[in-house]
Structure 1
Amino acid sequence: MEARHTIMVTNDDGIDAPGLRSLVRVLVSTNLYNIRICAPDSEQSAVSHGITWRHPISAKNVDIEGATAFAVTGTPADCSSLGVSDALFPSIPDLVLSGINMGSNCGYHIVYSGTVAGAQEAFFNNIPAISLSYDWVGGVSNIDDYTVAAEACLPIINAVLAEIKSKTYPQRCFVNIDLPTNIRCHKGYRLTTQGKSIYKMGWRQVTSTAQGKMLSTMVMDMNSSESLDDSSSAVSRGQKLFRRVAIEHSIDDTDIDARSLQEGYISVTPLGAISPAEPNCQAYFKNWLPGVLDRSFSAL
């Protein structure tokens, strides 16, 4: 009998997050893979590609049916790195899946995303990887949507594993997938590129350290943030507390990933480790650099 492929799952919402649990249940139900989980033991959204360097991290075994799972006191990048090493598990996985995230990760938000970092860290270690995010909208989405989203990703997961088996899968990229809010009526897959969409952020002064609920990598549900945490501390004398708030979501016609998501497509975006500057910037600095010394004096 042919050996099963091994998939390692991580995320940034934490090991108990419904997105991860739904993804794992769908993967286990296929009876096709060996499933491993190495995920943060708590919420780690918007930590980007941060890693733990100065102190050890711990991994605690967690009982999840059909999988070997560990909750880790580290970032998504830590979890991915540990999970693809031979320190925690007996072998290297064939594929890493990071998600399913609560909220989309398109455009510039990819830079902030711990979900994308989980996949990118595997890519750094030469392991094929996919980050998965569902465009959750409060009052519209429900927990069952994660299961539908995971099922919608199965054809891509299986196709990638087939390419890995035949040794034809490209090693110079990883894949970022965003699933639309109305996942039950999605319009299919669309190959996209990373756009420049971003939530423009501002700040507001608050009176306590209460934590709001993260709805996506960059958007917090601020309606109940002042009352969610009864243990939150009040502001002491001479101290001011501020919290980020989303002002507006900027999307234009060049934002192929975000625009496709809004139109109901499953956005599939190949990504690399480093995004080079746009060609016109390279041309500008090619002409600019030789005259740096002369220009520096003109600024005085």
Structure 2
Amino acid sequence: MHAITQHSFGGPEVLELTDVDRPQPLPSEVLVRVRAAGVNPVDAMVRSGAFPLLGEPPFVLGWDISGVVEEVVPGVTRFDVGDEVYGMAFFPRPGNAYAEYVAVPSRQLARKPRALDHAHAAALPLAGLTAWQSVVDAGEVQAGQRVLIHGGGGGVGHLAVQIAKARGAHVIATASGAKYDFVRGLGADEVIDYRTVDFTDAVTDADLVLDTVGGDYGRRSLRALRPGGLLVTVVDRADTELRQAAIEAGRRFAGVTVEPDHVGLQDMAELVDTGKLRPYVEHTLPLTDAAKAHHLIESGRTRGKIVLTV
């Protein structure tokens, strides 16, 4: 089968189309014919060596997939051959998503949302589960709460805005002025242009802040929270000093590392199919253009997601 592999760390040019053996599914797994693979910032960080999550090359990047079940190992009861599925394979271990076929544990997959094609479904798992596990699982956001989401136009942020809104929250998002209309269109009640407005002047009583940006945003966000409010970060999750600062300020802290979760995938699919959640895909490219996709995601200017079609 064809797959995008790399044999050294480096720029996007290290990604190359190669022929590799088709995987053989093990007990508890299904073989999926991949129709689309999502591209995430972590993919580029792993490729470059900045975040050597997979060890030394060679390896196949990617975790987000949407496709069709090709083979079911006896004993697996969740899917049949021909079912359309989507999910996040094996994260943080090798998911091998930039390929024509992937073998995946059945409980890391869910049925693809009916309302989405494969390209849009592949945009959802990693970023969507990150948002879901932050807003719903860690944040337990309830109707009427005030939620501030940093990076509301990004891959995780644009989904978090919609998930929080679907739960009845008053949603405030930071974004550049160029993304103002986009983020308002997602359902945000307020959008703060971080280039011209200090969000700590505009927000002081949030029940939850979700930080997808990092840097000094986490520490500054403590001032935007009400006493007892929760700071959720998907960037500085291991920052013990930030955790301590939150405690000393009378706020709570949660660092979230995304995990495979078929229940979360099923819940998001229901939101999609009821019209409350829609992943935005700015660029759809063929698998052979994986290097171009990485150039785009490293630009930092993408709205929503980038997807490779297979």
Q: Could you say whether these structures have the same fold, taking a TM-score greater than 0.5 normalized by the shorter chain as the test?
A: no
TM-score normalised to structure 1 length: 0.30
Bigger radius of gyration: 1
